[in-house]
Structure 1
Amino acid sequence: MSESDTYRFQVNLSGMINILSNHLYSNPKVFLREVLQNAVDAVTARSQQDPTYQGSIHLELTGTGAGSTLMIEDDGIGLTREDVHEFLAMIGQSSKRGGADAFTQETSFIGRFGIGLLSCFMVSDEIVMVTQSAKGGKALEWRGNPDGTYHIRELETELSPGTKVYLRCKPDCEMYYESELLQQWIYDYGALLPYPITFRDGQTQRIVNDQRPLWLDDPERARGHREEVLQLGQRLLGEKFQDYIPLKTASGRTGGIAFILPHSVNLNVKKSNRVYLKYMLVSEKAENILPDWAFFVKSIIWTDELQPTASREHFYENEKLEQVRQELGDSIRAELLRMAEYDPDRLQRIIQLHALSMKALAVEDISFFQIIYRWLPFETTYGRRKVHELMADGQKMYYTTSLDEYRQITHVASAQSLLVVNGGYVYDAELIALLPEVCAEAQTERLIPEDVSLAFTDITADERKQYYEAVRYADVALQRFRCQIQLKRFKPEDLPALFTLSQEASDLRSIETSKSVSPLALTSVLQSLSSSLQESAYSTLYLNINNSVVERIFQAKNESMIVVAIEMLYVNALMMGHYPMNRQEMQVLNQGIVRFLDWGLSANNDQGGHTE
């Protein structure tokens, strides 16, 4: 048996630090969050040893431009020499240890990965730290370099417990040492922290987070602080809000404020929620903390129960996050239900702005739909109306399942006084179909274009005989489009033609359109699909004999003119139904216009010759 040798991995510390400090984080400004986090954790550790202790954090900026130095000071627990070697020299070793699962276990500290201080190398070529442990011993000076080396020096003077970190501006990093930006970032990251954060720049000193809300531990109390809540939302989220909803999970360990956007938003808009872990900002644009339907709010959320990733800019997608997301969604749902009962005018204002979100939630929760259905708006043949307005006359509500279907029949349905809801918008068809389940008086029925044609009046036997030849010419003309002619009487009289197609014909039409723009390899596949639909995929062009144009066409004796006129009515019906036309149909349109121009010019010339 051969002997095996054991080797250790060779780690390039300089390269590792470069990866961690320059590629783990999304923006160099997070260095400020990391040093604040270390300071907060140091203060928290000391307060656990001494409940009477009141900690604080201080930042001071000296110099300008490339000569700037930022000092971050806390009066927390401090570090011993052993702590420095263990926690500042071992990447991945958290100073908040507590067993084998230190990275995933719950802790009262924000940091747990032991890599946060490395982010400072993004803005400084050296990290200088002076620390005095509350346990006693000598004060220490630690200097760390981005090549992975560090130096420790014992100081002769004993200092007050705590830590100071000094960062000198790195070339091309001047913007991260600008006073105004620093104050804004300190506020962004630390606005909700429980310890006062002081910032000093020259002769100016102020507490950055002096307006920390008193209702953070119980968001329900925010109802009584309306102006304060709205001002906080504007300052942190950058928008002026008019309304909000307190958020709280059953455990009370996650809470927040959902600010209702003062403008409507698109369904696909990226959600933007600020999430704080133990009151330190973790993510400015968290997308997975609220349910998908809650895109009508921007939220400030604080938690101590979710597990952050190593960069502390996101949370792990696990069962706990799913539970928190569900419970925060339940908070929003419960508040909307409360509005429906006690403040319906307020709910109606929200629905008016954010109907799409309300519909998304109603589809998900039929009990919520039952509460708010009367105020939901829909596009109909009677205009854009709310459900209670549509039900006022007790009329049956028909609905389509696509925008194309609605466009095909809207003119005919309106002329026949049919109430048709456009179900082509997301959620609308589904909600109208569900309406009878939440309202016994509601009558709804799916409507397809073929159903509308059932209300058309047949022509008489004499008219059928009179127009037989003309109809045959028309049928032959449209055979290449797989379309058949039906001569009827219907309203409105100014609508000459209505184009309808079955599901098979719709599928074939889509395939044929795709074939004209697809690469050769895909064309053969589409050809195979279209072959299976050829026999059944016929559309119908209903011609309205009540229309003067149609009547004149069928009274004409010129066969070629009838064919061209029918083809023009066909493409006109396609445009009325908002169908995209293929190349062949566009040629029919262009050639038809040219033919009519030729006939008109020919008639003018004949008339002119006769006059002479």
Structure 2
Amino acid sequence: MSDSQEYRFQVNLSGMIDILSNHLYSSPRVFLRELLQNATDAITARMDLDPSHRGEVSVELASHGADATLLMQDNGIGLTEEDVHEFLAMIGHSSKRNGTELLGETSFIGRFGIGLLSCFMVSDEIVMLTQSASGGPSIEWRGKPDGTYTIRKLETSLTPGTKVYLRCKPETDFYFEAETVELDLLHYGALLPYPIRLSAGGREQRINPEVPDWIVRPDLAHGSPDEVLRFGEKMLGERFRDFIPLRTSTGRTGGIAYVLPHAVNLNANRSHKVYLKRMLISEQADNILPEWAFFVKCLIWTDELQPTASREHFYENEQLERVRGELGEAIRDALIRMSEQDQARLRRIVELHALSMKNLAVEDDAFYRMIHRWLPFESTYGHKTLGELIDEEQTLYYTATLDHYRQLRHVASAQSMLVVNGGYIYEAELLESLTRILPGIDVRRLLPEDVSLAFTDLNPEERSATLQAARTADLALQRFRCRILLKRFKPEELPALFTLPEEAATLRSIERASEESPQAFASILGSLGGSLQGEASSYSILYLNLNNPVVERLFTGRSTSRLNTLVEMLYANALMMGHYPMSRSELALMNKGILSLIDWSMESEKGE
């Protein structure tokens, strides 16, 4: 056995450990991921030399509590003494020597030189035994957090590969418990193509399952839908009902986009799981998909993206931008295929996430253009998708508020007008901007007064017969700044329609606010309202439907002293039918009218 020699790391290791613990890594448990990554890179490098080689990783736990130890062993390429100096003492040293990758394209040790050093977060000493597959002596390496390490050549030769021994340091025994190690090995290594075996408490088990074919070829996923959905539930913790396979043009990035089974906030944090060379890099990757793909939760595997130093995110570069674009295209193409082959499936997805999709469509014309045909809307033709409404090839009227839609839907429907309810959040904005993505389409905002254009005027005989009663009714509503107009329109079941031009709506709002405000503020509002009261456009209009039998009898039948009260009741009823907020005087009017109707009914019974 040769004499051991002592060397010093070319870095302030105590400062490095502080950086690893408090700034670079999200948790000390990532030491296990780094050990797995080192083993995986070593196995991959050996397979580059010998494609028939079958790699495996084994983990063994001994003792427990403060005396717990962990051994991780791989049968990879191993390290020579020169490799150990180069990769474990030179932080940030390149993994290339003479233009050749020594430990694989995405080797963490090769790129940053701190993978193994992360073990100092849970152990005060790292012992590594390694034997290079290229020959040479077996090496023992011992590293300490004071910045020193020793190397000695062993007299006996080990089998090619590497063993790493760790003993837990105070207050880190949790990370050496069998249950914790088992969960973490599965968490990080579930997709690794090599078996990971754990021995603890006299029991040995394989941690990661056999990798299914659709992991390598996502296009095969539709052949095993139940298996894919179960796998998604196991890995992502949710029960999914649908999924979309993902693959880039190079085939070097793929995955499964699981459609979320519940509506989500557009601004919610993304939680995609991304694997680099089958090793989990991030479970909170927020830049791997386009922003519009908020309705899916993904498992993604890649071997072409560059991880950051913490190995928990990817660098934002041209390569990531290309991959993100191609994954987005895969989802987009799947949606288009659904629209052609399985519209019911697409409708379920869109309806579930309609609100967030509309939110994004307002801000993103490209997304709106892609998804517009399947966005659901309420209309006088029923609940339909925007594409179905466009296919009607009619003028597409829309209301800006829910109240306007409620006021007009019965009349518009009876006139066969296609009116879309734009009163819900984002919908009026989408309808207003529809011409931007579909030039030439006829879309118009519908105001309450516009509906009257479809009303039928009375003929001269009817105007003459109803003139006196109409004047009396008009005077009855003057104090409410409301005009009476007699028309004929559909549906005949609707006796009256209350409409409110824009200036009248402003005045009405001011008057209601004045009623509910302190005296000083009410006087200011009163001044504002006074400036509008002289305008003819500040009057609301109550259209009375002469097609309605009650209205026809009231205005063409025998005159009655009760006309004013009955017209006031029609006015109050129209306000309620239109969902208009009522002022105190209007509420008092309705109350008075109801009491009058009750009184008349009782008088009628006495006379019988």
Give the structure-1-normalised TM-score. 0.72
Partner of 2:186: 187
Q: Structure 2 CA distance, aligned partners of 1:503 and 1:61?
A: 80
Partner of 2:418: 419
CA 1:221/1:439 → structure 2, altered by over 3 Å: closer, same or farther?
A: farther
Partner of 2:147: 149
Q: Structure 1 CA distance, aligned partners of 2:192 and 2:318?
A: 27
Q: Structure 2 CA distance, aligned partners of 1:504 and 1:32?
A: 71
**Cα distance, 1:243 vs. partner?**
3.4
Partner of 1:169: 168
**Cα distance, 1:288 vs. partner?**
2.4
1:78 aligns with 2:78: yes
Partner of 2:124: 126
SS in 2 for 1:20: helix
**Cα distance, 1:12 vs. partner?**
6.6
Q: Structure 2 CA distance, aligned partners of 1:312 and 1:537?
A: 70
Matches within 5 A, 1:25-104: 25-90=25-90, 92-94=91-93, 96-97=95-96
Partner of 2:480: 474
Structure 1: give runs of 5+ residues left out of the alignment: 1-9, 476-483, 518-522, 605-612
Aligned residues: 552
Equivalent AA in structure 1 for residue 479 of structure 2 = Y
Equivalent AA in structure 2 for residue 400 of structure 1 = T
1:311 aligns with 2:310: yes
Q: Contact 2:398–2:444 at 8 Å: present in 1 too?
A: yes
Q: Structure 1 CA distance, aligned partners of 2:501 and 2:308?
A: 53
Equivalent AA in structure 2 for residue 27 of structure 1 = S
Partner of 2:366: 364
Matches within 5 A, 1:442-481: 445-455=444-454, 462-463=468-469, 465-467=471-473, 469-475=475-481
Partner of 2:246: 247
Q: Structure 2 CA distance, aligned partners of 1:558 and 1:15?
A: 92
Q: Structure 2 CA distance, aligned partners of 1:243 and 1:24?
A: 36
Partner of 2:258: 259
Matches within 5 A, 1:502-541: 502=502, 541=540
**Which sits farther off after the overlay, 348-357 or 418-427?**
348-357
Q: Contact 2:405–2:421 at 8 Å: present in 1 too?
A: yes
Structure 2: give runs of 5+ residues left out of the alignment: 1-9, 555-559, 600-608
Q: Structure 2 CA distance, aligned partners of 1:539 and 1:190?
A: 71
**Cα distance, 1:126 vs. partner?**
1.5
Partner of 1:23: 23
Matches within 5 A, 1:577-596: 577=580, 588-589=583-584
Q: Structure 2 CA distance, aligned partners of 1:246 and 1:342?
A: 16
Q: Contact 1:399–1:422 at 8 Å: present in 2 too?
A: yes
Partner of 2:279: 280
Equivalent AA in structure 2 for residue 279 of structure 1 = R
CA 1:322/1:508 → structure 2, altered by over 3 Å: closer, same or farther?
A: farther
CA 1:466/1:485 → structure 2, altered by over 3 Å: closer, same or farther?
A: closer
**Cα distance, 1:281 vs. partner?**
1.0
Q: Structure 2 CA distance, aligned partners of 1:558 and 1:243?
A: 63
**Cα distance, 1:149 vs. partner?**
2.8
Q: Structure 2 CA distance, aligned partners of 1:140 and 1:538?
A: 94
1:258-313: CA deviation from partner (whole Å, max 9, x where unpaired): 22334454544444321111221111132222223323322211112222222221
1:408-459: CA deviation from partner (whole Å, max 9, x where unpaired): 533543455533222345468646975999899x975442334224445679
SS in 1 for 2:243: strand
Partner of 2:602: none
Equivalent AA in structure 1 for residue 105 of structure 2 = T
Q: Structure 1 CA distance, aligned partners of 2:50 and 2:326?
A: 35
CA 1:504/1:221 → structure 2, altered by over 3 Å: closer, same or farther?
A: farther
CA 1:308/1:428 → structure 2, altered by over 3 Å: closer, same or farther?
A: farther
CA 1:393/1:162 → structure 2, altered by over 3 Å: closer, same or farther?
A: closer
CA 1:473/1:210 → structure 2, altered by over 3 Å: closer, same or farther?
A: closer
Matches within 5 A, 1:183-582: 183-344=182-343, 346-351=345-350, 353-354=352-353, 364=366, 373=373, 377-386=376-385, 396-403=395-402, 405-414=404-413, 416-423=415-422, 424-426=424-426, 430=430, 434=434, 445-455=444-454, 462-463=468-469, 465-467=471-473, 469-475=475-481, 498=498, 500=500, 502=502, 541-545=540-544, 576-577=579-580
**Cα distance, 1:183 vs. partner?**
2.0
Equivalent AA in structure 1 for residue 95 of structure 2 = K
1:76-118: CA deviation from partner (whole Å, max 9, x where unpaired): 333445544444344x424624699x9xxx9342552233334
Q: Structure 1 CA distance, aligned partners of 2:561 and 2:589?
A: 19
Q: Structure 2 CA distance, aligned partners of 1:251 and 1:392?
A: 39
Q: Structure 1 CA distance, aligned partners of 2:347 and 2:437?
A: 22
**Which sits farther off after the overlay, 279-288 or 339-348?**
339-348
Equivalent AA in structure 2 for residue 502 of structure 1 = E
Equivalent AA in structure 1 for residue 148 of structure 2 = Y
Partner of 1:7: none
Q: Contact 2:572–2:589 at 8 Å: present in 1 too?
A: no
SS in 1 for 2:288: coil
1:228-259: CA deviation from partner (whole Å, max 9, x where unpaired): 43332222122333433221112222111222
CA 1:156/1:12 → structure 2, altered by over 3 Å: closer, same or farther?
A: closer
Q: Structure 2 CA distance, aligned partners of 1:318 and 1:402?
A: 44
Equivalent AA in structure 2 for residue 259 of structure 1 = Y
Q: Contact 1:397–1:421 at 8 Å: present in 2 too?
A: yes
CA 1:419/1:38 → structure 2, altered by over 3 Å: closer, same or farther?
A: same
SS in 2 for 1:194: coil
Q: Structure 2 CA distance, aligned partners of 1:455 and 1:67?
A: 88
Equivalent AA in structure 2 for residue 191 of structure 1 = A
Q: Structure 2 CA distance, aligned partners of 1:231 and 1:495?
A: 58
Q: Structure 2 CA distance, aligned partners of 1:98 and 1:407?
A: 75
**Which sits farther off after the overlay, 424-433 or 240-249?**
424-433
Q: Contact 1:78–1:161 at 8 Å: present in 2 too?
A: yes
SS in 2 for 1:310: coil
SS in 1 for 2:377: strand
Equivalent AA in structure 2 for residue 328 of structure 1 = L
Q: Contact 1:247–1:256 at 8 Å: present in 2 too?
A: yes
Q: Contact 2:504–2:538 at 8 Å: present in 1 too?
A: no
CA 1:413/1:64 → structure 2, altered by over 3 Å: closer, same or farther?
A: farther
**Which sits farther off after the overlay, 46-55 or 199-208?**
46-55
Partner of 1:136: 136
Q: Structure 1 CA distance, aligned partners of 2:276 and 2:207?
A: 19
Equivalent AA in structure 2 for residue 230 of structure 1 = L
**Which sits farther off after the overlay, 334-343 or 126-135?**
334-343
Equivalent AA in structure 2 for residue 188 of structure 1 = H
**Cα distance, 1:354 vs. partner?**
5.0
Q: Structure 1 CA distance, aligned partners of 2:127 and 2:107?
A: 20
How many percent of aligned residue pairs carry the same amino acid? 46
CA RMSD of superposed structures (Å): 5.2
Q: Contact 2:292–2:367 at 8 Å: present in 1 too?
A: no
Partner of 1:607: none
**Cα distance, 1:345 vs. partner?**
5.2
SS in 1 for 2:294: coil
Equivalent AA in structure 1 for residue 480 of structure 2 = A
SS in 1 for 2:112: coil
Q: Structure 2 CA distance, aligned partners of 1:202 and 1:268?
A: 46
Q: Structure 1 CA distance, aligned partners of 2:138 and 2:337?
A: 61
Q: Structure 2 CA distance, aligned partners of 1:537 and 1:110?
A: 78
Q: Contact 1:127–1:165 at 8 Å: present in 2 too?
A: no
Q: Structure 1 CA distance, aligned partners of 2:27 and 2:47?
A: 31
SS in 2 for 1:126: strand
